[in-house]
Protein backbone atom coordinates (compact mmCIF):
# COMPACT_ATOMS: atom_id res chain seq x y z
CA UNK A 1 0.00 0.00 0.00
CA UNK A 2 1.36 3.43 -0.97
CA UNK A 3 0.58 6.74 0.71
CA UNK A 4 0.68 10.35 -0.42
CA UNK A 5 1.88 11.65 2.93
CA UNK A 6 1.60 11.27 6.71
CA UNK A 7 -1.99 12.55 6.68
CA UNK A 8 -2.89 9.78 4.25
CA UNK A 9 -1.17 7.24 6.53
CA UNK A 10 -3.13 8.40 9.58
CA UNK A 11 -6.41 8.26 7.65
CA UNK A 12 -5.66 4.66 6.62
CA UNK A 13 -4.98 3.68 10.23
CA UNK A 14 -8.14 5.42 11.44
CA UNK A 15 -10.22 3.69 8.77
CA UNK A 16 -8.74 0.27 9.56
CA UNK A 17 -7.22 -0.16 6.10
CA UNK A 18 -3.82 -0.74 7.67
CA UNK A 19 -2.54 -1.15 11.21
CA UNK A 20 0.06 1.05 12.85
CA UNK A 21 2.24 -2.04 13.29
CA UNK A 22 2.17 -2.66 9.55
CA UNK A 23 3.18 0.96 8.93
CA UNK A 24 6.04 0.69 11.39
CA UNK A 25 7.30 -2.57 9.91
CA UNK A 26 7.11 -1.18 6.37
CA UNK A 27 9.06 1.94 7.41
CA UNK A 28 11.71 -0.16 9.14
CA UNK A 29 12.10 -2.23 5.97
CA UNK A 30 12.55 0.95 3.88
CA UNK A 31 15.03 2.33 6.40
CA UNK A 32 17.08 -0.87 6.27
CA UNK A 33 17.11 -0.66 2.47
CA UNK A 34 18.01 3.03 2.15
CA UNK A 35 20.15 3.90 5.15
CA UNK A 36 23.29 1.98 4.09
CA UNK A 37 23.67 4.40 1.17
CA UNK A 38 22.50 7.52 3.04
CA UNK A 39 24.00 7.17 6.54
CA UNK A 40 21.02 9.14 7.84
CA UNK A 41 20.16 7.19 11.02
CA UNK A 42 22.24 7.31 14.21
CA UNK A 43 20.19 5.03 16.49
CA UNK A 44 16.96 3.03 16.41
CA UNK A 45 14.28 1.80 18.80
CA UNK A 46 12.49 -0.55 16.45
CA UNK A 47 11.42 -3.16 19.00
CA UNK A 48 9.87 -0.54 21.28
CA UNK A 49 8.21 1.14 18.32
CA UNK A 50 6.59 -2.15 17.23
CA UNK A 51 5.36 -2.71 20.77
CA UNK A 52 3.91 0.80 20.96
CA UNK A 53 2.17 0.29 17.62
CA UNK A 54 0.42 -2.74 19.07
CA UNK A 55 -0.45 -1.27 22.46
CA UNK A 56 -1.17 2.45 22.08
CA UNK A 57 -4.64 3.87 21.51
CA UNK A 58 -4.63 6.07 18.41
CA UNK A 59 -8.30 7.08 18.52
CA UNK A 60 -8.85 10.66 17.30
CA UNK A 61 -5.12 11.30 16.92
CA UNK A 62 -4.32 13.55 13.92
CA UNK A 63 -1.25 11.46 13.07
CA UNK A 64 -2.54 8.12 14.30
CA UNK A 65 0.21 5.48 14.28
CA UNK A 66 2.47 7.35 11.84
CA UNK A 67 6.18 6.43 12.16
CA UNK A 68 8.66 9.29 12.58
CA UNK A 69 12.38 9.79 13.21
CA UNK A 70 13.65 12.48 15.59
CA UNK A 71 16.71 14.63 15.01
CA UNK A 72 19.70 13.58 17.11
CA UNK A 73 20.06 17.10 18.53
CA UNK A 74 17.63 18.10 21.25
CA UNK A 75 14.28 16.37 20.74
CA UNK A 76 15.11 14.12 23.69
CA UNK A 77 13.10 11.00 24.40
CA UNK A 78 13.37 9.38 27.83
CA UNK A 79 15.77 6.44 27.89
CA UNK A 80 16.94 6.87 24.30
CA UNK A 81 20.34 7.84 22.98
CA UNK A 82 20.84 11.56 22.37
CA UNK A 83 24.35 12.22 21.04
CA UNK A 84 24.15 15.72 19.48
CA UNK A 85 26.66 14.33 16.98
CA UNK A 86 29.39 14.55 19.64
CA UNK A 87 31.72 11.91 21.09
CA UNK A 88 31.07 13.47 24.50
CA UNK A 89 27.51 12.15 24.31
CA UNK A 90 28.07 8.99 22.29
CA UNK A 91 26.53 6.89 25.07
CA UNK A 92 24.26 9.49 26.68
CA UNK A 93 20.62 8.54 27.21
CA UNK A 94 17.99 11.17 27.88
CA UNK A 95 16.62 11.27 31.40
CA UNK A 96 13.24 12.63 30.32
CA UNK A 97 11.29 13.44 27.18
CA UNK A 98 11.16 17.11 26.28
CA UNK A 99 7.88 18.85 25.52
CA UNK A 100 8.47 18.73 21.77
CA UNK A 101 8.69 14.93 21.82
CA UNK A 102 5.79 14.55 24.24
CA UNK A 103 3.66 16.67 21.93
CA UNK A 104 4.61 14.52 18.92
CA UNK A 105 3.63 11.39 20.80
CA UNK A 106 0.33 12.95 21.89
CA UNK A 107 -0.49 13.56 18.21
CA UNK A 108 -0.14 9.82 17.52
CA UNK A 109 3.37 9.58 16.10
CA UNK A 110 5.57 6.56 16.87
CA UNK A 111 9.28 7.31 17.15
CA UNK A 112 11.53 4.84 15.31
CA UNK A 113 14.93 6.39 15.96
CA UNK A 114 17.17 9.40 15.50
CA UNK A 115 18.79 11.10 12.51
CA UNK A 116 22.32 12.25 11.72
CA UNK A 117 23.43 15.84 12.36
CA UNK A 118 26.74 17.75 12.55
CA UNK A 119 28.29 18.14 15.99
CA UNK A 120 25.94 20.36 18.03
CA UNK A 121 24.26 21.54 14.81
CA UNK A 122 26.85 24.18 13.98
CA UNK A 123 27.09 23.53 10.23
CA UNK A 124 24.97 23.73 7.10
CA UNK A 125 26.22 20.25 6.17
CA UNK A 126 26.03 16.99 8.12
CA UNK A 127 29.50 15.50 8.54
CA UNK A 128 30.09 14.76 12.22
CA UNK A 129 33.23 12.82 13.06
CA UNK A 130 31.12 10.63 15.34
CA UNK A 131 28.53 9.50 12.81
CA UNK A 132 30.00 10.41 9.42
CA UNK A 133 28.69 12.06 6.25
CA UNK A 134 25.02 12.16 5.26
CA UNK A 135 24.64 11.58 1.52
CA UNK A 136 22.17 13.42 -0.69
CA UNK A 137 19.75 10.81 -2.09
CA UNK A 138 19.84 12.41 -5.55
CA UNK A 139 23.67 12.36 -5.74
CA UNK A 140 25.68 10.41 -3.17
CA UNK A 141 28.78 12.49 -3.85
CA UNK A 142 26.99 15.48 -2.32
CA UNK A 143 26.01 16.32 1.26
CA UNK A 144 22.36 16.30 2.29
CA UNK A 145 22.84 19.57 4.19
CA UNK A 146 22.62 20.56 7.80
CA UNK A 147 22.00 20.56 10.41
CA UNK A 148 18.86 18.46 9.81
CA UNK A 149 20.62 16.48 7.09
CA UNK A 150 19.74 12.97 8.21
CA UNK A 151 16.08 13.90 8.57
CA UNK A 152 15.99 15.42 5.09
CA UNK A 153 17.70 12.43 3.48
CA UNK A 154 15.19 9.99 4.99
CA UNK A 155 12.19 12.00 3.80
CA UNK A 156 13.65 12.64 0.35
CA UNK A 157 14.45 8.92 -0.07
CA UNK A 158 10.87 7.96 0.81
CA UNK A 159 11.66 6.21 4.08
CA UNK A 160 9.14 8.37 5.93
CA UNK A 161 6.99 11.28 4.74
CA UNK A 162 7.85 13.47 7.72
CA UNK A 163 10.78 13.79 10.14
CA UNK A 164 11.64 15.90 13.16
CA UNK A 165 13.97 18.82 12.45
CA UNK A 166 15.18 22.06 13.99
CA UNK A 167 16.42 25.40 12.69
CA UNK A 168 18.89 27.73 14.40
CA UNK A 169 20.22 29.43 11.27
CA UNK A 170 18.54 27.59 8.41
CA UNK A 171 18.85 23.98 9.55
CA UNK A 172 15.35 23.07 8.36
CA UNK A 173 15.27 25.24 5.23
CA UNK A 174 18.79 24.50 3.92
CA UNK A 175 18.40 20.70 3.74
CA UNK A 176 14.83 21.19 2.51
CA UNK A 177 16.24 23.14 -0.43
CA UNK A 178 18.98 20.62 -1.20
CA UNK A 179 16.60 17.63 -0.96
CA UNK A 180 13.50 19.02 -2.68
CA UNK A 181 11.35 19.16 0.46
CA UNK A 182 9.04 21.59 2.23
CA UNK A 183 10.83 23.18 5.18
CA UNK A 184 8.93 25.53 7.48
CA UNK A 185 10.68 27.38 10.28
CA UNK A 186 7.79 28.56 12.49
CA UNK A 187 7.62 31.85 14.35
CA UNK A 188 9.65 31.97 17.55
CA UNK A 189 7.33 30.76 20.33
CA UNK A 190 4.98 28.79 18.09
CA UNK A 191 6.14 25.30 19.17
CA UNK A 192 6.52 23.87 22.70
CA UNK A 193 9.87 24.32 24.46
CA UNK A 194 11.26 22.98 27.76
CA UNK A 195 11.36 21.67 30.37
CA UNK A 196 15.18 22.01 30.46
CA UNK A 197 15.77 24.72 27.84
CA UNK A 198 13.34 27.50 26.93
CA UNK A 199 15.38 29.95 24.83
CA UNK A 200 17.54 27.92 22.47
CA UNK A 201 20.25 30.24 21.15
CA UNK A 202 18.27 33.15 22.65
CA UNK A 203 15.22 32.17 20.61
CA UNK A 204 17.08 31.81 17.31
CA UNK A 205 16.68 28.02 17.36
CA UNK A 206 13.23 26.46 16.93
CA UNK A 207 11.93 22.95 16.24
CA UNK A 208 9.46 21.68 13.66
CA UNK A 209 9.74 19.11 10.83
CA UNK A 210 10.56 18.39 7.19
CA UNK A 211 7.65 17.31 4.99
CA UNK A 212 6.66 16.38 1.45
CA UNK A 213 3.17 17.90 1.30
CA UNK A 214 1.57 21.19 2.26
CA UNK A 215 -1.32 19.49 4.02
CA UNK A 216 1.12 17.64 6.31
CA UNK A 217 2.86 20.95 7.03
CA UNK A 218 -0.42 22.70 7.84
CA UNK A 219 -1.89 19.83 9.81
CA UNK A 220 1.24 19.44 11.90
CA UNK A 221 1.49 23.15 12.64
CA UNK A 222 -2.17 23.41 13.61
CA UNK A 223 -2.03 20.53 16.07
CA UNK A 224 1.53 21.08 17.29
CA UNK A 225 1.28 24.79 18.12
CA UNK A 226 0.94 26.02 21.70
CA UNK A 227 0.39 29.21 23.65
CA UNK A 228 2.97 28.41 26.31
CA UNK A 229 2.75 31.00 29.06
CA UNK A 230 5.81 29.80 30.98
CA UNK A 231 7.93 30.30 27.85
CA UNK A 232 9.86 33.57 27.33
CA UNK A 233 8.32 33.79 23.84
CA UNK A 234 4.52 33.57 23.81
CA UNK A 235 2.21 33.63 20.78
CA UNK A 236 -1.57 33.36 20.38
CA UNK A 237 -2.46 30.19 18.50
CA UNK A 238 -3.47 30.29 14.87
CA UNK A 239 -7.14 29.45 14.34
CA UNK A 240 -8.27 26.61 12.10
CA UNK A 241 -9.89 29.12 9.76
CA UNK A 242 -6.52 30.88 9.43
CA UNK A 243 -5.12 27.68 7.95
CA UNK A 244 -8.07 26.53 5.85
CA UNK A 245 -6.45 27.26 2.51
CA UNK A 246 -8.69 30.19 1.61
CA UNK A 247 -7.78 32.17 -1.48
CA UNK A 248 -5.09 34.80 -1.16
CA UNK A 249 -5.73 38.49 -1.60
CA UNK A 250 -3.27 40.16 -3.97
CA UNK A 251 0.05 40.38 -2.16
CA UNK A 252 2.96 42.80 -2.35
CA UNK A 253 6.01 40.55 -2.56
CA UNK A 254 9.53 41.91 -2.16
CA UNK A 255 12.09 40.10 -4.29
CA UNK A 256 15.68 39.72 -3.05
CA UNK A 257 18.18 38.18 -5.47
CA UNK A 258 21.52 39.40 -4.13
CA UNK A 259 23.35 37.69 -1.29
CA UNK A 260 23.03 39.70 1.93
CA UNK A 261 26.77 39.24 2.53
CA UNK A 262 27.87 40.03 -1.03
CA UNK A 263 28.72 36.51 -2.19
CA UNK A 264 27.90 34.90 -5.52
CA UNK A 265 24.41 33.56 -6.13
CA UNK A 266 24.35 30.88 -8.83
CA UNK A 267 22.40 31.34 -12.05
CA UNK A 268 20.37 28.29 -11.08
CA UNK A 269 19.30 29.78 -7.75
CA UNK A 270 18.35 33.05 -9.45
CA UNK A 271 16.39 31.18 -12.11
CA UNK A 272 14.51 29.29 -9.39
CA UNK A 273 13.43 32.54 -7.73
CA UNK A 274 12.57 34.26 -11.00
CA UNK A 275 10.47 31.25 -12.01
CA UNK A 276 8.60 31.42 -8.69
CA UNK A 277 8.17 35.18 -9.02
CA UNK A 278 6.78 34.85 -12.54
CA UNK A 279 4.24 32.30 -11.34
CA UNK A 280 3.15 34.51 -8.44
CA UNK A 281 2.85 37.52 -10.74
CA UNK A 282 0.71 35.48 -13.13
CA UNK A 283 -1.53 34.64 -10.17
CA UNK A 284 -2.15 38.34 -9.55
CA UNK A 285 0.51 39.23 -6.97
CA UNK A 286 2.79 42.25 -7.28
CA UNK A 287 6.56 41.61 -7.35
CA UNK A 288 8.90 44.44 -6.31
CA UNK A 289 12.64 43.93 -6.79
CA UNK A 290 14.74 45.20 -3.87
CA UNK A 291 17.98 47.08 -4.43
CA UNK A 292 19.40 45.74 -1.16
CA UNK A 293 18.50 43.45 1.72
CA UNK A 294 16.39 44.98 4.51
CA UNK A 295 19.13 44.23 7.07
CA UNK A 296 22.91 44.47 6.78
CA UNK A 297 23.84 40.83 6.31
CA UNK A 298 27.46 41.07 7.41
CA UNK A 299 26.57 42.93 10.59
CA UNK A 300 23.78 40.46 11.33
CA UNK A 301 25.99 37.42 10.78
CA UNK A 302 28.74 38.90 12.94
CA UNK A 303 26.23 39.25 15.77
CA UNK A 304 25.00 35.70 15.14
CA UNK A 305 28.49 34.28 15.54
CA UNK A 306 28.97 36.14 18.84
CA UNK A 307 25.68 34.73 20.13
CA UNK A 308 26.60 31.25 19.00
CA UNK A 309 29.98 31.44 20.72
CA UNK A 310 28.57 32.68 24.03
CA UNK A 311 25.80 30.09 24.09
CA UNK A 312 28.33 27.35 23.28
CA UNK A 313 30.63 28.50 26.07
CA UNK A 314 27.69 28.42 28.50
CA UNK A 315 26.76 24.92 27.27
CA UNK A 316 30.25 23.60 27.89
CA UNK A 317 30.33 25.19 31.34
CA UNK A 318 27.26 23.10 32.17
CA UNK A 319 28.88 20.00 30.68
CA UNK A 320 32.02 20.58 32.75
CA UNK A 321 29.93 20.87 35.90
CA UNK A 322 28.13 17.64 35.03
CA UNK A 323 31.31 15.68 34.22
CA UNK A 324 33.39 17.22 37.01
CA UNK A 325 36.30 18.09 34.72
CA UNK A 326 37.44 20.70 32.23
CA UNK A 327 36.84 20.37 28.50
CA UNK A 328 39.82 19.75 26.23
CA UNK A 329 40.36 19.84 22.48
CA UNK A 330 40.20 16.04 22.47
CA UNK A 331 36.55 16.26 23.59
CA UNK A 332 35.26 17.89 20.40
CA UNK A 333 35.86 18.77 16.78
CA UNK A 334 38.23 21.65 16.07
CA UNK A 335 35.49 23.96 14.79
CA UNK A 336 33.47 23.36 17.94
CA UNK A 337 36.56 24.10 20.03
CA UNK A 338 37.06 27.44 18.30
CA UNK A 339 33.44 28.47 18.84
CA UNK A 340 33.56 27.40 22.50
CA UNK A 341 36.84 29.12 23.34
CA UNK A 342 35.93 32.37 21.59
CA UNK A 343 32.69 32.50 23.58
CA UNK A 344 34.60 32.43 26.85
CA UNK A 345 36.08 35.85 26.10
CA UNK A 346 32.97 37.87 25.14
CA UNK A 347 32.10 40.52 27.78
CA UNK A 348 28.53 40.46 29.14
CA UNK A 349 27.96 44.05 28.02
CA UNK A 350 28.84 43.12 24.43
CA UNK A 351 26.42 40.21 24.52
CA UNK A 352 23.70 42.48 25.88
CA UNK A 353 24.34 44.90 23.01
CA UNK A 354 24.05 42.04 20.52
CA UNK A 355 20.62 41.03 21.82
CA UNK A 356 19.47 44.65 21.71
CA UNK A 357 20.68 44.73 18.12
CA UNK A 358 18.44 41.76 17.37
CA UNK A 359 15.49 43.65 18.80
CA UNK A 360 16.23 46.46 16.37
CA UNK A 361 16.33 43.95 13.50
CA UNK A 362 12.87 42.77 14.58
CA UNK A 363 11.62 46.35 14.51
CA UNK A 364 13.10 46.92 11.05
CA UNK A 365 11.38 43.81 9.71
CA UNK A 366 8.09 44.73 11.41
CA UNK A 367 8.20 48.04 9.53
CA UNK A 368 9.26 46.25 6.34
CA UNK A 369 6.14 44.08 6.49
CA UNK A 370 3.91 47.12 6.73
CA UNK A 371 4.90 47.70 3.10
CA UNK A 372 5.49 44.14 1.86
CA UNK A 373 3.48 41.04 2.76
CA UNK A 374 6.33 38.60 2.21
CA UNK A 375 9.99 38.54 1.22
CA UNK A 376 10.92 36.15 -1.61
CA UNK A 377 14.56 35.06 -2.03
CA UNK A 378 16.64 32.02 -2.84
CA UNK A 379 16.80 29.59 0.07
CA UNK A 380 20.43 28.83 -0.78
CA UNK A 381 22.93 30.19 -3.28
CA UNK A 382 23.45 26.88 -5.09
CA UNK A 383 22.67 23.16 -5.15
CA UNK A 384 23.88 20.76 -2.45
CA UNK A 385 27.68 20.97 -2.08
CA UNK A 386 30.06 18.15 -2.85
CA UNK A 387 31.45 16.23 0.11
CA UNK A 388 34.61 17.94 1.32
CA UNK A 389 33.83 21.19 -0.45
CA UNK A 390 34.10 23.22 2.76
CA UNK A 391 37.03 21.33 4.30
CA UNK A 392 39.50 23.61 6.10
CA UNK A 393 43.25 23.43 5.51
CA UNK A 394 45.52 21.89 8.13
CA UNK A 395 47.19 25.27 8.60
CA UNK A 396 43.90 26.98 9.34
CA UNK A 397 42.84 24.17 11.69
CA UNK A 398 46.07 24.75 13.61
CA UNK A 399 45.15 28.42 13.96
CA UNK A 400 41.75 27.42 15.34
CA UNK A 401 43.34 25.06 17.84
CA UNK A 402 45.41 27.98 19.14
CA UNK A 403 42.49 30.41 19.26
CA UNK A 404 43.12 31.18 22.96
CA UNK A 405 46.37 32.91 21.94
CA UNK A 406 44.78 35.80 20.02
CA UNK A 407 42.61 38.79 20.90
CA UNK A 408 38.80 38.78 21.01
CA UNK A 409 38.68 40.72 17.73
CA UNK A 410 41.04 38.25 16.08
CA UNK A 411 39.00 35.34 17.43
CA UNK A 412 35.82 36.64 15.81
CA UNK A 413 37.71 37.18 12.55
CA UNK A 414 38.83 33.54 12.67
CA UNK A 415 35.25 32.37 13.27
CA UNK A 416 34.11 34.37 10.23
CA UNK A 417 36.89 32.84 8.10
CA UNK A 418 36.02 29.38 9.43
CA UNK A 419 32.48 29.62 8.05
CA UNK A 420 33.18 31.89 5.07
CA UNK A 421 32.95 29.32 2.27
CA UNK A 422 29.91 27.55 3.69
CA UNK A 423 28.14 30.82 4.52
CA UNK A 424 28.54 31.97 0.91
CA UNK A 425 26.52 28.86 0.00
CA UNK A 426 23.70 29.60 2.47
CA UNK A 427 23.54 33.34 3.28
CA UNK A 428 19.77 33.85 3.12
CA UNK A 429 18.33 31.86 6.01
CA UNK A 430 19.85 33.26 9.21
CA UNK A 431 17.99 36.57 9.31
CA UNK A 432 14.65 35.00 10.21
CA UNK A 433 16.30 33.23 13.15
CA UNK A 434 17.53 36.53 14.55
CA UNK A 435 14.17 38.26 14.14
CA UNK A 436 11.98 35.28 15.05
CA UNK A 437 9.95 35.42 11.83
CA UNK A 438 8.38 32.40 10.10
CA UNK A 439 10.12 31.35 6.91
CA UNK A 440 9.55 28.49 4.49
CA UNK A 441 11.57 26.80 1.75
CA UNK A 442 9.50 25.46 -1.14
CA UNK A 443 10.86 22.92 -3.68
CA UNK A 444 10.02 24.74 -6.92
CA UNK A 445 13.03 24.02 -9.12
CA UNK A 446 15.28 21.23 -10.43
CA UNK A 447 18.44 21.67 -12.44
CA UNK A 448 19.02 19.77 -15.68
CA UNK A 449 21.01 17.29 -13.57
CA UNK A 450 17.93 16.76 -11.38
CA UNK A 451 19.29 18.58 -8.31
CA UNK A 452 16.85 20.58 -6.18
CA UNK A 453 16.98 24.27 -5.27
CA UNK A 454 14.28 25.81 -3.12
CA UNK A 455 12.95 29.34 -2.83
CA UNK A 456 12.41 31.02 0.52
CA UNK A 457 9.40 33.05 1.61
CA UNK A 458 9.50 35.00 4.87
CA UNK A 459 6.54 36.73 6.53
CA UNK A 460 5.91 38.90 9.57
CA UNK A 461 5.90 37.26 13.00
CA UNK A 462 2.87 35.05 13.50
CA UNK A 463 1.94 34.96 9.80
CA UNK A 464 2.61 31.32 8.97
CA UNK A 465 -0.87 31.40 7.43
CA UNK A 466 0.44 33.52 4.56
CA UNK A 467 3.37 31.21 3.90
CA UNK A 468 1.16 28.13 3.98
CA UNK A 469 -1.41 29.70 1.66
CA UNK A 470 1.35 30.54 -0.84
CA UNK A 471 2.69 27.00 -0.53
CA UNK A 472 -0.82 25.68 -1.20
CA UNK A 473 -1.00 27.85 -4.31
CA UNK A 474 2.23 26.39 -5.67
CA UNK A 475 1.14 22.84 -4.83
CA UNK A 476 -2.35 23.19 -6.36
CA UNK A 477 -0.81 24.39 -9.61
CA UNK A 478 1.77 21.58 -9.60
CA UNK A 479 4.69 23.98 -9.14
CA UNK A 480 6.44 21.93 -6.45
CA UNK A 481 9.18 19.71 -7.88
Query: Catalytic residue numbers?
Result: 71, 147, 171
Q: What sign does the CA torsion over 269, 271, 272, 277 have? A: positive
Nearest Cα neighbor of 218 from 236, 192, 237, 245 is: 245
Q: Give all strands of the β-sheet with 110-115 in edge-to-edge order.
A: 41-44, 110-115, 67-71
What is the C-alpha separation between 365 and 347, in angstroms, rounded? 28
What is the C-alpha separation between 134 and 152, in angstroms, rounded? 10
- Dihedral of the alpha carbons of 182, 188, 190, 191, in degrees to the nearest 10: 80
What are the φ and ψ backbone dihedral angles of 81, each rounded to 5 degrees? -60, 145
Write down how long the chain is.
481
- How many of the other CB atoms lie within 10 Å of CB of 180? 26
- How many of the other CB atoms lie within 10 Å of CB of 360? 11
Q: 37 CB contacts (<8 Å, ≥6 apart)?
A: 135, 140
What is the C-alpha separation between 129 and 135, in angstroms, rounded? 14
- Contact (CB, 8 A) for 302 and 346: no
Q: Distance of CA 26 to CAs 22, 38, 39, 68, 383, Å? A: 6, 18, 19, 12, 31
Amino acid sequence: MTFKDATDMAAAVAAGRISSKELVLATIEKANQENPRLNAITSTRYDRAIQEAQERDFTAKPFAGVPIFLKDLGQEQAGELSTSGSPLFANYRAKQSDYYVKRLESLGFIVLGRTNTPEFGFKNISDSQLHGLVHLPDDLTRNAGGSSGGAAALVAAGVSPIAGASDGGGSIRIPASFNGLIGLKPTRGRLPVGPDAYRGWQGASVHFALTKSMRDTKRLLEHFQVCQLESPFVLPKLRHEDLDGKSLKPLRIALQLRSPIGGKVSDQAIEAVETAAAFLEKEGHQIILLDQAPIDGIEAMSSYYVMNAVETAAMFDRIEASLGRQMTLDDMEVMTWAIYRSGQQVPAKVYSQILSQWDQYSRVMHDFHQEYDVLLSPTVADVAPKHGQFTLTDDFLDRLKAIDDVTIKEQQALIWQMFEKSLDWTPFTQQANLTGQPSISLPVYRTVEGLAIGVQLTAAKGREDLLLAIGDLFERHHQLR
